[in-house]
Structure 1
C-alpha cells in the first residue's frame, strides 16, 4: 500500500539553493513546498500541514532564529521538526540558541546530499508514524468504549505503555518506568537502564537500589516525591543527579504521575526520566564564557583608563592622536587573540600589525623564529612595540628615508629576547626625562611580565633590548633590578 506523502517546507532567500535542495530531496517522493522568505514561510504554514521545515539561518528581514521563534509561538507548530542550514561556522552558543528556538538539528554548508536526505527522511517518517498512531488511537478508543470495563482498563494500560515507549524512543536519552504502589514491583524500559548505567541482568529495581544510585545531596527528592503522592498529589517533577556505578555523575529531570482507584487511593506511579547532562554542561559553559568576557572587558577598560590618564601632550590634537594610537594597538591585538579563541598570538603577527600603517619599503629588517605568546603577554608586548614604533616614526630612524631599523628575536629556555636597533636617523640624545611611552613600556615588561627592558641612547640610533618570559610561572616573577619607577607610576595611575 502506498504511504501517504508528507509536506516538507524549504525556506531560503536564494533560488539557486532552493533548487539544489529540491534536486537532493526529490528522490524521497514527498511533497516539497518552497518559500523564499520567512514571511512567505509563515503564510504557507497557516494554509498547509507541514512535517519538516528546512530553513537557512542567514536570511534578510527575518533570519532562521527569528522565524523559528515565531513558529514555536503558534500552538499548531510547537512539535514541528525544524532543521537549520548554516553556511557559517556555528559556535556552541549559536547551537544552544538554535536548540532553544526549537531546532532539532544543524546541517553545515556545503551540504552532503546523502546526509541531508537521511535527516529529512527520519523526521518525515516520524511525522507519518505519529499521524498513523493518532488515527489508530482514535479507532482504538472507539472500540474500547463499546467493550466491557475490564477490556477497557487492559487496553488503556497497553496504550499508556506504548505511548511512553514511543516518547522515549523519539526524544532520545529518555527512559520510562512503572511502580506498582501496592505490590512494590518496578518496571524499567531499556532507556531507563541506559541512563542509570546498569543492566537488567545485574541490577534489581527496588527503592533501596535506586536510592543507592542517587547523589547523596538529592536523596531527599525521592523521599519528598513519595510523601507528596501519599498526601494526594497526582503529578510531580524534579531535577536530580545520579552517580553511575563507574563514578560518572549525570543530571536528570524526572516526571511522575499517579494512578488512583475509585476510592482515590494511589495504586500505580508511572514516570519518565530525561538525561539533561549535556544541557547542564552547556549552561555551565555559557556562564563560564560570560564570566570570561566580563573579565577581559574589565582588563581592556583598565588598560584604556591607564592610557587616558597617563598620556601627556602639549596640544589637544597631539593628545587625541597619542591616545587613539595606543588604544588602536590594544584593539589590534584583541582582534588577533579573538581569531585564535584567545589561545595566543604569533609575535611576527603583532609586528606586522604595527608595521601596517607605515610605508617603509626596505627600511626594516626582521629576523626570528615563530613564537607563540600567551594572551596576557601578547597584549603587553603589543603595546610596548607600539610605543617603540611610534617614537621611531616621530623622532628616530623611521622619521627619515635614510633611517634603518633591525628587529630580531630568539628564544632560549622559555625566555624571549628581542633586539631593536635603529641607525641612519637623526642624531640621538639621551632624554632628560621619560615620557609615558617609555614609562609604560618599562612598567609592562618588568612589572607585568617579570622581564627586563634596557635602553641605550646611542648617537647613531636607539638600541633597545627586551627580555620576556614565555611561561606563566616565570611571567609572575618579581620585577628585575632594572629601573621600575615607570612601573610604579603606571600601577598607581591605573590603581
Structure 2
C-alpha cells in the first residue's frame, strides 16, 4: 500500500555501521538520513522533520545519552521516537537513564535485522498515523466550528454525519461521533457503531450505555476528559479499551475537540475513534519476539564463552582448531533449531550434520527411530557428538579407512540410549588420563542433561553408551543447566583443570 514516506535519522560515528543500518532498513521504503556525529544529527533535526532516530550509545564528543538530552530540550522533538543501539552490556541504571532521556527502546549488538526493522517500522507507522490523526482532527474541528454558526442544528447533524462517515471509511478502522454538550444528545456514524460492535437498531447512544461498553479499568478516562473540557481544554486524546457485547476486548485511540460559544462555554464536543487493536497485538508480538531473541542470544553467547574459556591446547593452531570445531558444532545445531522455529531438532539430523565430513566409503552406519530433542538437549548433545567424532577422526576408527563406526539409538520411557561402537581402527588402549574432550563430554551429558556416559576402551575400538532423559529434568539438573548458561558448570570447570 502506498503511503507518505517518513524520515528516519541514523546516527553513528562509524561509516560501516551506518551503511549496515541503511541496508537493513532499506526495504521499509522510508527516507533514510545519516549523521556521523551528534552535532551533525542536531543540524539535520533543525532542517528536517524526523519520525524515528536510531542512535549509537557510544560516540565521541556527544554520546547517545547526551544527544538525547539535547534533543528532548527542544519543544519540537519532545515526542520524537529514539531507539538506542548499544554494543556494550547495558545495565538497568543505563536503561533507566536512557528512558529518562527519551529513549523508547534499546537494540543490542549484534543487531538482528528483522528485529531492528520491526521496531523502526512500528514507530514509523505510529508517527505516520499520528500525523494523519492530527490533520483529520484539525479538519474536523474547523468544519464543526464553521457549520455551527451557519447552519441549523438538524441540517448540521445530517451533513456532519455523512462527511464523518466518508472520512472514517476512507481512513480505515475509524469512527466519528458528536456530543451536544447542552442537550446531551449523541450522534455516532456507522464506523463508530462498527468499532463498538453494536448497531443503531439495538443500541441507544447515551452516557450510561457508552460507559457500559468501556473497559472497567478505563472508565476514569471518560470522566477525566469531561473534567478537562469543563476546565477549558479544547482538545483531548487518549487510548482506551472497549468490551464489545460478545466479550471481545478492543484497543482504541480517541481524539476529541470542543466547540465553545461567544462566552467561552462548551456547546459541542466532536471526535474520532480509531481501532488500534491490530497495532497493539503487533507490538505485543514484537516485544515477545525481542525478548525471545534476546534470551536465545544470551544462551548461545554463554555456551560460546564457556567453550573459549575451557578449551585447552599446547599450540595456538590446535587451540584455534578446537575452538572453531566446537563453535561450528554449536552453529550447526542452532541452524537446525531455527528451521523448526526453536521447537526442537531430530537426533538423526544432528548426527548427519556432524558426520558429513567423515562419511566416506560406507564407514559409518546409523540405526534408530525418529527422536525429537528439545532445544536445550539438542545443543548439549550436539557438542557431545562433536567431541566423539573429533576424537575418532584423530585417534579412532575414523582415522583410518579400515575403521568402522556404528551409531544406534532407541527411546525407552522418555530415556534416550545412544550407542557409539568403533571397530577396525588402530589398536586402542585405555588412556591413563581423560583428555579435555572426554571430560567435557562427561560433564555436559551428566551435569547439563542429567544423564550418564559410559566408556569401554576395547582393544578393537571404543564403545560408548550415552543415556539422556528426553523430557523431564530434576530441579538439581535444571539448576545446573542455568548455572552453565551463565558461568559454565563446576564439573566442566574441573574438566579444564
- Which TM-score bucket, shorter chain as reference? 0.5 to 0.7
Residues 331-355 of structure 1 show CA distances to partners (whole Å, capped at 9, x for unaligned) of: 1111111122212212111111112
Distance in 2 between the 1:315 and 1:19 partners?
38
Equivalent residue pairs, number: 495
Deviations 1:244-285 (A, max 9, x none): 333332211111111222322211111111111111111111
Cα deviation for residue 79 of structure 1 reads: 22
The 3-state SS of whatever aligns with 2:88 is: coil
- Compute the displacement of 1:388 (Å): 0.5
CA positional deviation for 1:325? 0.3
Note the alpha carbon deviations across 1:354-395, whole angstroms, 9 max, x for none: 122235221000111222221111111111110110000011
Partner in structure 1 of residue 482 of structure 2: 480
TM-score for the superposition, normalised by structure 2: 0.67
Deviates more, 1:99-108 or 1:412-421: 99-108
- Cα distance in 1 for partners of 2:481, 2:120 equals 63
CA contact 1:309–1:493 (8 Å) conserved in 2: no
* CA 1:316–1:376: 2 relative to 1, 3 Å: same
Contact 1:449 1:475 in 2 (8 A): no
Using the TM superposition, give the Cα deviation of residue 194 of structure 1 relative to its aligned residue in structure 2, in angstroms. Answer: 2.6
Structure 1 residues 137 and 55, CA, compared in 2 at 3 Å: closer, same or farther?
A: same
**In structure 2, do the counterparts of structure 1 residues 221 and 360 end up closer, same or farther at CA, with 3 Å as the change threshold?**
same
Greater shift, 142-151 or 376-385, is seen at: 142-151
Separation in structure 1 between the aligned mates of residue 307 and residue 129 of structure 2, nearest angstrom = 66
Question: Matched residue of 1:232: which SS?
Answer: coil
Unaligned runs of 5+ in 1: none
Q: Does 1:84 align with 2:80?
A: no
Instruction: Answer whether contact 1:214 1:242 (CA < 8 A) is retained.
Output: yes
Residue 209 of structure 1: how far off its partner (Å) = 2.4
Give the deviation of 1:304 after TM superposition.
1.0
Q: Give 1:205 deviation, angstroms.
A: 2.1
Change (3 A) 1:377 1:101: same
How far apart are the structure 1 equivalents of 2:445 and 2:251? 46
SS in 2 for 1:245: coil
Query: What secondary structure is seen at the aligned counterpart in 1 of 2:283?
Result: helix
What CA distance in whole angstroms lies between the structure 2 residues aligned with 1:143 and 1:260? 14
Could you tell me whether the CA contact under 8 Å between 2:239 and 2:253 is conserved in 1? yes
Q: Aligned in 2, Cα 1:382/1:245: closer, same or farther, shift over 3 Å?
A: same
Please state whether the residue corresponding to 1:481 is helix, strand or coil: helix
Q: Using the TM superposition, give the Cα deviation of residue 184 of structure 1 relative to its aligned residue in structure 2, in angstroms.
A: 1.0
Does the C-alpha gap of structure 1 residues 63 and 315 become closer, same or farther in structure 2, counting only changes over 3 Å? closer
Q: CA separation of 1:21/1:436 partners in 2, compared to 1, >3 Å: closer, same or farther?
A: closer
Structure-2 change in CA distance of 1:313 and 1:292 (3 Å): same
Alpha-carbon spacing, 1:172–1:20, altered in 2? closer, same or farther (3 Å):
farther
Deviation at 1:71, TM superposition (A): 25
Secondary structure at 1:146 match in 2: helix
Mapped to 2, the partners of 1:100 and 1:41 lie a distance apart of 20
Using the alignment, how far apart are the partners of 1:443 and 1:6 within structure 2?
A: 54
Q: Is the 8 A contact 2:141 2:257 kept in 1?
A: no
Q: Is contact 1:311-1:323 (8 Å) kept?
A: yes
Say if 1:300 and 1:141 are closer, same or farther in 2 by CA, change over 3 A. closer
Paired with 1:265 and 1:481, the residues of 2 have a C-alpha distance of: 67
Q: Residues 303-341 of structure 1: CA distance to partner in whole angstroms, max 9, x if unpaired?
A: 111111111111111111101100010011111111222
CA distance in 2, matches of 1:284, 1:25: 21
Shift of 1:183: 1.1
Q: Which whole-Å CA distance do the structure 2 matches of 1:26 and 1:145 have between them?
A: 43
Secondary structure at 2:53's aligned position in 1?
strand
Conservation of the 8 A alpha-carbon contact between 2:9 and 2:33: yes
User: Can you list the C-alpha shifts for 1:190-212, whole angstroms capped at 9, x where unaligned?
Assistant: 32223223333443322222222
Q: How far did residue 397 of structure 1 move? A: 0.6
Distance 1:376 1:118, change over 3 A: closer
Q: Does the 8 A contact of 1:439 with 1:485 survive in 2?
A: no
C-alpha contact (below 8 Å) 1:215/1:241 kept by paired residues? yes
Q: TM-score, normalised by structure 1?
A: 0.67
Range 223-232 or range 5-14, more displaced: 5-14
- 8 Å Cα contact 1:448-1:475 kept in structure 2: no
Offset from partner CA, 1:66-93 (integer Å, 9 cap, x none): 9999999999999999999999999999
Farther off after superposition, 464-473 or 226-235? 464-473
Q: Deviations over 1:218-267 (max 9, x none)?
A: 22211111111112222111111122333332211111111222322211
- Would the aligned equivalents of 2:414 and 2:470 in 1 still touch at CA under 8 Å? yes
Worse-superposed segment, 5-14 or 370-379: 5-14
Match of 1:420, SS state, is: strand
Change (3 A) 1:263 1:239: same
Give 5+ residue unaligned stretches, structure 2.
Answer: none
Relative to 1, partners in 2 of residues 1:331 and 1:255: Cα closer, same or farther, differing over 3 Å? same
- Seen in structure 2, the aligned counterparts of structure 1 residues 493 and 205 have a Cα distance that, compared at 3 Å, is farther
Deviation at 1:130, TM superposition (A): 21
Task: Tell me if the contact between 2:137 and 2:255 (Cα under 8 Å) persists in the aligned partners.
Answer: no
Q: Over residues 442-468 of structure 1, what are the superposed CA-to-partner deviations in whole Å (9 max), with x where a residue is unaligned?
A: 222222222222211111111111122
For the 8 Å contact 2:346–2:371, the answer to whether it is kept is yes
| 2:209 aligned partner | 209
Secondary structure of the corresponding residue to residue 443 of structure 1: helix
Q: 88-97 or 426-435, which moves further after superposition?
A: 88-97
**Per-residue deviation, residues 404-441 of structure 1 (Å, max 9, x unmatched):** 00011122233222111000111112222222222222
- Whether the aligned pair in 1 keeps the contact of 2:450 and 2:473 (CA below 8 Å) is no
Instruction: List per-residue Cα deviations over 1:102-153 (Å, max 9, x = no partner).
Output: 9999999999999999999999999999999999999999999999975487
